[in-house]
Amino acid sequence: MNQNNLSQCIADLKALEEMLIQCSRCGTCQSVCPLYKKDLNESTVARGKIFLIEALAQGKLERADEIYEYLDYCILCGRCKTNCPSGVATDEIFLKSKAIIRQVKKLPLWQKTILKTAMGNPQLLAALSPLFHIGLRLGNKKIDDGIFKAGALLSPMLGDMADRHIADMPSKALTKLYGGFNQAKDEKQRVIFYPGCATTLIYVHWGIAMIETLLHYGVSVYVPETNNCCGIPSATMGELELYREQVGKNFDYFDSIEDADTILMCCPTCEYGLGSLAEKETGRQKNKRVMDIVVFMAEVLNVQLEHKIELTGSSSLHVPCHYNGAKAPILQKFIANNFITDFKPLKNQSCCGFGGTFSLKNYPHTRELGKKKATEIKERGFSQLFTACPGCAMNLTDANLTAGNYLKATHPVVEIYEKRIKPQRN
Amino acid sequence: MIAKSVLNSFKAIVGDNDYWDQPSDLVLYSFDSSVEDPVLPDLVVRPETTEEVAAICRLCSEHDIPLITRGSGTNLAGSTIPVAGGCIILMTRMNRILEINTDDMYAVVQPGVITAEFAEAVQQAGLFYPPDPGSQKMSTIGGNIAENAGGLRGLKYGVTKDYVMGATFCDMAGNIVKAGGKTVKLCTGFNLTGLLSQSEGQLGVITECILKLVPPSKAHKAMLVSFDDMIDAGNTVSGIIRSHVLPATMELMDNFTIRTVHEATGADMPIDATALLLLEVDGHPAVVEEEYAIVQRICAENNGKITVAETAAERESLWEGRRKALSSLARLRPTLVLEDVTVPRTKIPDFLKALDEIKTRHDLVIGTFGHAGDGNLHPTILCDKRDEAEMERVHAAVADMFAAALEMGGTCSGEHGIGLAKQSFMVDEVGQGTINYMKSIKAGVDPKNLLNPHKQAL
């Protein structure tokens, strides 16, 4: 290991001291961390990780690469931060520390390739999506409508992920279909819809449903011609520079639209990635309000179907990690206002285990956490599972199919579109 | 330095996945929730059975390796810091609830069970496990027993030791020892169960616990009482108890803490009150009403203004304010020194007066809240551990607090334990004769002083 780099790394970590010292090691994070609850090991929980960073900064430890591995074993669900009695900014500490330790622990080639080509070059990714689509159809085992097991063909690339249920990748990206300005018939207002990678490339039907629903309610929608990544994958891989760059591109786009002051998102992680962290890291302000699509539908459009949609069987809701506390009740009320269903909350309110890049690197752990969710869903016999995040939906669909529950996680707005708005049109 | 071959023997007992000896892992078990300096162990093992624990004890004994039992590592006295190095035995994987017997009203659990999860399971079964230490969401039952953890319900329901009916533990010779049992009455041999409570892991490694359960109360009434004068608050506490009413909880907060909680959380609190009591009476509905009437009268006699929580939501928000006391204070400064000095409850006003003087004398910021009903207060010193001069004043203030408490017939630790932090104060409190006697017991069961050495003045 390069000694100069390590010295620089230690010096940079020392700059985090004011944030690190806030941790009183009370251990409250143990009670909320999904990984600690599974592993019961101090290295998996915030106070342990913070102690490791401190020890490295104080020169008590030398193996920065090992510490990186420990810091990297984190879903970034944010529960430790939300529940910390001392208000420690755990997410910021971990992302910054990873970026600092990157000086001595270089990004593995495959992660670099993903970041540079996929996240860093969204046009290319969108252009390639028909190829992925064809590849998936050829090389994989169809499990259910639109769901595949990646199987042997892709296993060298995906490793443990080859076993995963993945959604069929549509032949056209959402931005190809809707990029630009979409005018509503009786326009009442204009918004920007930032779909995020998952909805642009994989859960395209979610994006279609959301945009069409907005148009139906007289909301004209700006959709980016190219969906630039929100930057969270870069940040979690310790590439804060690339993160800032990606945030900057998105802020440029938001700024370029002058006649809409609301940005709608349907991925809570994107909302988090482009939220206060982004403003802090880039020193820029969005000057527009950012809202989750459900919150917009519920609070701004006051959508309440006159004839609610009747669902068979009982339903439940998985609240995404980055769907912060205040929004969860709105989501639940929105479901109650628009669906006739025997709704019961999940007992296990923890993370689904996905965590984006976490899942790429740690699929067996993802699967373990997802299984806990799926087991409860199976035992309590839910036939419908709502969520408000495409990442959670993908992961929970995988977890449920693995557990033998033939249930796909879905979004309330998508259900409203599919079951009410779309049939009315035809 | 422990020989490689010996380390391999440890690994052979627990397996590769539950064994650690590299610096990046050892450092994670060098600290706990106290402000004591961290010290690295030589290795960490995580057993899953009583037999594995016994084997680890024997191996440590054979090679003179100190053995420190650790649950969640949330104690506040440095009780789990491996000051002499050695082996940390991590009990987190022994975390199964083995039995909840609703007819005989006991439970059998492994020591790594999380307190709040256990209490929840007991509640689901229709019974009640009262001990509720502040760290209950992460603390383990084994740790609670070893530290004799308290909580908010001490006055009426007692503390952890009052709920330990029995335990299985291993000594350093590798004996598997059974203490107590499942019966209410039990007179076999020494009361080893009692000896084990608050032994801080110095007399054995607990591998199974039998806990007493009680029927839950049928009704409760929570209220907030505000006072303009601390003496009135103190007199209310003693007045209530003198009238033979035992509230399930009776918590005190001083003005500084009230204001801090209000500012941090926006909770609706009487910010001009000098002190407030948060009080809950529970039991049969008729008894609750009768006791409430007595509490009302005593509060009125002592100029206390009562606000009753009429709904479940109001009750919840009232206790939320109390639960947020520590975290609200914690945000003010980087370091928080949380004490647990305890005095006979009638002495609370005297102690608070002494505390005021100490605060001024040492120029420190101290917020005080605590369990007024059992005399257990939590003076919370807000400081910065990097400021040496300030930390010296902190240590001097702590010494003064304990001296004041001792003079009033109190103790330096109501519920956190002695560990490393309070050894000298403990000697002042109990005298050398007691220490000598404890040493004799310790030498008898652990002649090499390997079980969590250098704690509690042993």
List pLDDT tens digits, range B343-390. 998 899 899 999 999 999 999 999 999 999 999 999 999 999 999 999
* Nearest Cα residue to A400 out of A341, A332, A333, A353: A353
Residue B135 has pLDDT above 90, yes or no: yes
CA distance B263 to chain A (A): 14
- pLDDT number for residue B327: 86
Say which of A51, A67, A85 has its CB closest to residue B31. A51
Structure tokens at A289: 């309000």
Residue A260 has pLDDT above 90, yes or no: yes
Structure tokens at B150: 């308290």
Cα(A300)–Cα(B425) distance, integer angstroms: 62
CA distance B191 to chain A (A): 33
Q: Does any CB of chain B come closer than 8 Å to the CB of residue A30?
A: yes
**Averaged confidence pLDDT in chain A:** 88
Structure tokens at A149: 């097991």
CB contact under 8 A, B33 and A60: no
- pLDDT number for residue B280: 96
φ, ψ dihedrals at B139, nearest 5°: -70, 155
ipTM: 0.94
Residues A169-228 pLDDT 10s: 677 889 999 999 999 999 999 999 999 999 998 899 999 999 999 999 999 999 999 999
- Categorize the per-residue pLDDT at A143 as very low, low, confident or very high, splitting at 50, 70 and 90: low
- For residue A62, the chain B residues in CB contact (below 8 A) are 23
* Nearest Cα residue to A344 out of A310, A376, A374: A376
As a whole number, mean pLDDT of residues B252-266 equals 91
Residues A393-408 pLDDT 10s: 989 988 988 888 888 7
* Nearest Cα residue to B391 out of B368, A55, B399: B399
Cα(A360)–Cα(A367) distance, integer angstroms: 11
Q: Does any CB of chain B come closer than 8 Å to the CB of residue A349?
A: no
- Categorize the per-residue pLDDT at A108 as very low, low, confident or very high, splitting at 50, 70 and 90: confident
Single-letter code of the amino acid located at A12: D
* Nearest Cα residue to B190 out of B453, B441, B456: B441
- pLDDT number for residue A111: 76
Residues A212-234 pLDDT 10s: 999 999 999 999 999 999 999 99
Residues A28-63 pLDDT 10s: 999 999 999 999 999 999 999 999 999 999 999 989
- pLDDT number for residue A2: 62
Which has more pLDDT, B447 or A394?
B447
Contact A166/A148 with Cβ under 8 angstroms?
Answer: yes
Residues B290-334 pLDDT 10s: 999 999 999 999 999 999 999 998 998 888 888 888 888 988 999
Residue A135 has pLDDT above 60, yes or no: no
- pLDDT number for residue A157: 45
- pLDDT number for residue A144: 57
Those residues whose C-beta lies under 8 Å from the C-beta of residue B316, and which sit 6 or more positions away, are: none
The total number of residues written for chain B in this structure:
458
- pLDDT number for residue A142: 57
Residue A161 has pLDDT above 60, yes or no: no
Note the Cα B343 to chain centre separation in Å.
16
- Categorize the per-residue pLDDT at B20 as very low, low, confident or very high, splitting at 50, 70 and 90: very high
User: Which pTM was predicted?
Assistant: 0.92
Which has more pLDDT, B414 or A133?
B414
Those residues whose C-beta lies under 8 Å from the C-beta of residue B423, and which sit 6 or more positions away, are: B455, B456, B457
Contact B322/B253 with Cβ under 8 angstroms?
Answer: yes
- Categorize the per-residue pLDDT at B70 as very low, low, confident or very high, splitting at 50, 70 and 90: very high
Cα(B270)–Cα(B303) distance, integer angstroms: 15
Interface of B with A (CB under 8 A): 22-25, 27-29, 31-33, 38, 46, 72-74, 92-93, 95, 112, 114, 116, 135, 137-138, 326-327, 330-331, 334-336, 384-386
Cα(B221)–Cα(B294) distance, integer angstroms: 13
Q: Does any CB of chain B come closer than 8 Å to the CB of residue A70?
A: yes
Residue B283 has pLDDT above 50, yes or no: yes
